[in-house]
């Protein structure tokens, strides 16, 4: 089993703060450069249909400026497909999107949207992007992602994070078990397994310990925590927690 566990830092909410006032400060591109210096392996940005945080100009500047890979999160719409094909980011994560939601509240139903989504996977992988589907920890979604030729999935871990912080121990245990099961099953199908949504210093350990997960994408908490200790410190601390949890799970597995 590989030790690799990459950290993708989502800079959307730097743009949220900027947009609260208009103007250019704080700049998500500057945050992306700082994140790279602090040990991020990639930068993540979600260009939403309503442009509520990242703008088209941010995306263009991120593509031009950063020298680590960029993951573009996008809804499966023709407008976004055109943009993704034009910029050719390293990776694209297809997410469900509803205007009225505050954030991405659940995973895509790849099984239901099979025919619609396959076209996106074909065109984006043809453009050399690593395409992932943002899905719930569910074997059916792993099968569906595999069947449309997606090379990767990102498991939505929000239900686990919510259960750990606001639910019972049994609920958290049940949710992490779903993640462990889906990650093992998906990796067995040959999918690259990523995870994200709602991860904090308190919730990262058990997710980072899942050996099949090779990438965590984290945004809101890191940007929020940066208010108190700086972005560099919040990323370095997250990275250390991830690496410690993964090293411990590997040594337990080998023991
Ligand atoms: N991964 C995906 C696919 C997302 O849509 C998001 C944002 O909702 C994240 C990761 C990051 O989640 P958070 O901001 O809660 O860390």
The domain that contains 172 carries what CATH number? Answer: 3.20.20.70
Residue 132 lies in a domain: yes
Boundaries of domain holding 13: 6-254
Domain count, the chain: 1
**Cα 39 to Cα 45: distance, rounded to the nearest angstrom:** 17
In the reported structure, the alpha carbon of residue 135 is separated from the centroid of ligand 1 by a whole-number distance in angstroms of 12
Q: Across residues 209-229, what is the average pLDDT?
A: 98
Residue 23 lies in a domain: yes
Q: Whose CA is nearest to atom 12 of ligand 1?
A: 197
**Could you read off the pLDDT of 26-60 as tens digits, one per residue?**
999 999 999 999 999 999 999 999 999 999 999 99
For ligand 1, atom 4, name the residue with the nearest CA: 197
The predicted-structure confidence for 136-173, as pLDDT tens digits, reads as follows 999 999 999 999 999 999 999 999 999 999 999 999 99
> Is the residue at 1 inside a domain?
no
Separation of CA 175 and ligand 1 centre (Å): 17
| Distance from the alpha carbon of residue 217 to the mean position of ligand 1, in angstroms | 6
């Amino acid at each position: 089993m590989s030790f690799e566990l990459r950290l993708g830092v989502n800079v959307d909410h730097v743009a949220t703060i900027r947009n609260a006032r208009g103007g250019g400060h704080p700049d998500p591109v500057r945050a992306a450069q700082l994140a790279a210096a602090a040990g991020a392996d990639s930068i993540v940005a979600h260009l939403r249909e309503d442009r509520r945080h990242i703008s088209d100009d941010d995306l263009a500047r991120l593509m031009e400026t950063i020298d680590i890979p960029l993951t573009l999160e996008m809804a499966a719409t023709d407008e976004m497909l055109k943009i993704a094909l034009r910029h050719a980011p390293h990776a694209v994560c297809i997410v469900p999107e509803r205007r009225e939601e505050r954030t991405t509240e659940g995973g895509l139903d790849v099984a239901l949207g099979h025919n619609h989504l396959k076209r996106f996977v074909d065109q984006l992988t043809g453009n050399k992007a690593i395409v992932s589907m943002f899905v719930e920890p569910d074997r059916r979604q792993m099968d569906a992602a595999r069947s449309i030729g997606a090379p990767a999935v990102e498991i939505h871990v929000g239900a686990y994070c919510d259960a750990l912080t606001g639910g019972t121990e049994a609920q958290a245990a049940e949710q992490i078990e779903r993640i462990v099961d889906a990650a093992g099953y998906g990796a067995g199908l040959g999918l690259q397994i990523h995870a994200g949504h709602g991860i904090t210093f308190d919730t990262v350990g058990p997710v980072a310990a899942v050996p099949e997960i090779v990438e965590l994408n984290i945004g809101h908490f890191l940007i929020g925590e940066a208010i108190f200790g700086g972005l560099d410190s919040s990323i370095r601390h997250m990275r250390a927690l991830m690496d410690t949890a993964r090293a411990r799970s590997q040594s337990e597995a080998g023991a």
